[in-house]
Structure 1
């Protein structure tokens, strides 16, 4: 599985390097006026009124900020943001230089005036950036529309672009309402059950962005009633999958480290005798789902929902 960040150096070595770089980099002599804001984890962060050297360390903030800011406002971009397999704004991200990993020494050397990270980002590395005097703002991860709207609004205010963020939210709401109207035409008795199925034999349960995608698409999550783990994943045996027997199975559109992995997994399921009687296979409703849509938790969740709805109910479009 792809890791967003490289392995950290030894604690003692890293601490020494951080102190050295912080001392040599320092705070710019003509630092712009700063304002105090509180991030989603309760940290007080001193942020320039209009930061113009921003580093985003999560795909959520990448996709939001790259849609409301010019490339010139970014100090750097991380490698996943420029990868079209995972990122919905890869083309925009490719206009930003340099491309980096989550490497403390490299970030301190760049010295952005604002780093934006997720609530699950590596805390020890973020602490090292704070110790070096770099403002770090953490955003709580949302998996449903209301939380996504709130986070977009926050980011817009944080970078001094509230109007652009409001336009992004308005477009999201417009498309969400349009999709809801379309899928509302599906009679309750004709509403389909769908689920994702990973190469390691699991599906996303409730409280996940995938569950939200299915809801917005007018689909019922076939795994919703099953207990999920701390990451929202529901482990599935072959027997459980056969018992659930969803109308539609969405499979990974990409398998890390295996260029042909997604196609191979698709063929494997179609040829498995144990699954011969699954509705999804009998009715040819086994679909690869693009990874950048499957994994998104930004406003692009509506793109994912539209894709799922068009796949499930093509007659409505």
Structure 2
């Protein structure tokens, strides 16, 4: 108990520097480092140059839009996926949708028509489409797929640098790190329950940021233990063998059924939890919210103590893990609509890595290759 409290206090104190101790030139140095023109090599191997600070940005993925909102750059976004899974972003419906009618591909003509200064693309977008946009004289920076919480930090920092929002990006990453370190410190030494994250027969294995989220929350991802790579199907045999103690589902997918699942410890003990699909599946800053919820589910006493200590140290009254949400937790078999998003009751029906929300059943049929487009 005492060790855990010390860990929490250490997390809170690390990096706290009185404003008076910061040299006056620090802000100037940061501004100089965030100047333009700026060049960086993207996932296609291209050297992408942004000549001036962008004022019109197109985000081809939901998580990039989320990042733009969090770092204080939402007013620069002119185009993005305008779908149910981005409705939690205040003002997103006022942007131009850059996906085709079916939402399964990028509308290149619409992107070009928006005349953006910069387009930010996920790893799931075909290089041919990236080149079509570049041929129109528009700089496009393509990210690789996110494989961990650390990779999300790097993406936030790079988006901030590309868009001239370095300070907001640094603040966002710092806030994320604080929460992740707080949770990791709270669950350190606790016994890790076996956890399966599943949607329409698919799961998140090794090399996914969702695996990293489950681990940070104090769980043991059975899909990774089973040797599953990326987003892939999990067989009933694997489910039986791994015998998860907790089954986690996004709130746009039903609980799995069948004899294999009914035989698990999770079902026998009524231990299922529903998380917000948009927040869990989008590789963005708000992934710490479902991470916190999972940690509180797996290790309630340890995490509640850590959060209470953090609140006391910060002088706050209670911790809001849903960041303005009005949903209820779907834990212990209640399967409620967990973590409704951003106070708008949208409930988040989509996200990043694993799929396209309402169309997730279709995505499952067409294969795991499409599972990254709409929620990343």
TM-score (norm 1): 0.75
Which residue in the other structure is 2:234 paired with? 235
CA gap of 1:225–1:273, structure 2 versus 1, over 3 A, is: closer
CA gap of 1:34–1:195, structure 2 versus 1, over 3 A, is: same
Which residue in the other structure is 1:38 paired with? 40
Which residue in the other structure is 1:173 paired with? 177
SS at match of 2:196: strand
- Once residues 211 and 118 of structure 1 are traced to their aligned partners in structure 2, the CA distance between those partners, rounded to angstroms, is 19
The alignment's C-alpha RMSD in Å is 2.3
- Once residues 214 and 262 of structure 2 are traced to their aligned partners in structure 1, the CA distance between those partners, rounded to angstroms, is 25
Which of 110, 117, 130 is the matching residue for 2:114? 110
Which residue in the other structure is 1:79 paired with? 82
Q: CA deviation at 1:276?
A: 4.1
Q: CA deviation at 1:40?
A: 2.0
- Once residues 252 and 70 of structure 1 are traced to their aligned partners in structure 2, the CA distance between those partners, rounded to angstroms, is 28
1:207 aligns with 2:207: yes
Asked which structure has the greater CA Rg, the reply is 1
Aligned length: 262
Q: CA deviation at 1:118?
A: 1.6
Whether contact under 8 Å (2:149, 2:213) holds in the other structure is no
1:143 aligns with 2:147: yes
- Once residues 72 and 203 of structure 2 are traced to their aligned partners in structure 1, the CA distance between those partners, rounded to angstroms, is 35
1:154 aligns with 2:140: no
- Once residues 262 and 127 of structure 2 are traced to their aligned partners in structure 1, the CA distance between those partners, rounded to angstroms, is 47
Which residue in the other structure is 1:280 paired with? 266
What are the superposed Cα offsets for residues 128-175 of structure 1, whole Å, 9 maximum, x if unpaired? 111111111112222223222222111111111111111011101111
Q: CA deviation at 1:95?
A: 5.9
Which residue in the other structure is 1:297 paired with? 283
Whether contact under 8 Å (1:143, 1:208) holds in the other structure is yes
- Once residues 131 and 233 of structure 2 are traced to their aligned partners in structure 1, the CA distance between those partners, rounded to angstroms, is 33
SS at match of 1:92: coil
SS at match of 2:37: strand
1:121 aligns with 2:125: yes
1:246 aligns with 2:244: yes
CA gap of 1:153–1:197, structure 2 versus 1, over 3 A, is: closer
SS at match of 1:223: helix
Q: CA deviation at 1:294?
A: 2.9
1:196 aligns with 2:197: yes
Q: CA deviation at 1:94?
A: 2.1
Which residue in the other structure is 1:220 paired with? 220
